[in-house]
Amino acid sequence: MASIASKSRSQSPASKPTPHSAKSARSAKDTAGPARRDAAATREALIAAAVAEFSRNGFAGARVDEIASTAGVNKQLVYHYFESKQGLYLVALESVYAEIREKEQRLSLGELAPEEAMAQLVGFSFDYLAEHPEFIALLADENRNQGQHILESERLQKMHSPFIDMLEATLERGVKSGVFRPDFDAINLYISIAGISYFFFSNNFTLSAIFGKRLGSRAALAQRRRHVIEFALNALRP
């Protein structure tokens, strides 16, 4: 009888899973889920969603909830991978800069004649900004923040060095062959090349309104691209 009673007690309703314990089990399962998730893919999805959200709303206006929702993951994974909203913003900045720096390196300027190399670089800079309005928006936002996040990133500050070295080598080759002036330095040249296209795209709507022209049309973009390449080359010529 005692064994029957014991068996009965072990099967009593009190020992069955309660709604609370079932919920806890589900919660434990949900917590274990991210561990099985492809960590690299999750991280990349969050970065892509962050670039989109920060470029639309800036650092101040961006919402971590929205970034997580767009990436299709739990909000807690943002803090797991990046520690904070600020940490995610910094990684988003690093990712867009890394992309343009990597593509610049693929231009292989050292394999081209100096003038052709410079024309390729100016054209690339123009085309990249035309295709990546999110890059322009993120830069504008970081300038509003006085570059404070970039100052915190050693990776970002080092990222420009290989490209500046490549640009400097192209300038030196041009000077030696007599096609470029000797009084240009690579950093100022880079700022001028980037600036001449950046201003056009970052102010395209206001410039279009002021001058009564559709400066974002295909024809206007092609005309502007030819202009900035020739403008830069003329500035470099003796």
Tell me the CATH number at 136: 1.10.357.10
Number of domains in the chain: 1
* Residue of 193, 170, 171 whose CA lies nearest to 184: 171
Q: Write out pLDDT tens, residues 71-118.
A: 999 999 999 999 999 999 999 999 999 999 999 889 888 899 999 999
| Residue 159 domain-assigned (yes or no) | yes
| Residue 46 domain-assigned (yes or no) | no
203 pLDDT higher than 50? yes
- How much is the pTM? 0.79
pLDDT at position 37, please? 54
Distance CA 94, CA 159 (A): 9
Distance CA 104, CA 83 (A): 31
Q: What sign does the dihedral 136-114-167-111 (CA atoms) show?
A: positive
* pLDDT interval class at 6 (50, 70, 90): very low
Provide the residue range defining the domain that includes 164: 94-236
Quick one: tokens of 98?
């890394």
| Residue 135 domain-assigned (yes or no) | yes
Contact present, 54 and 144 (Cβ < 8 Å):
no
| Residue 64 domain-assigned (yes or no) | no
Tell me what percent of the chain is helix, strand and coil, each rounded to the nearest 5: 80, 0, 20
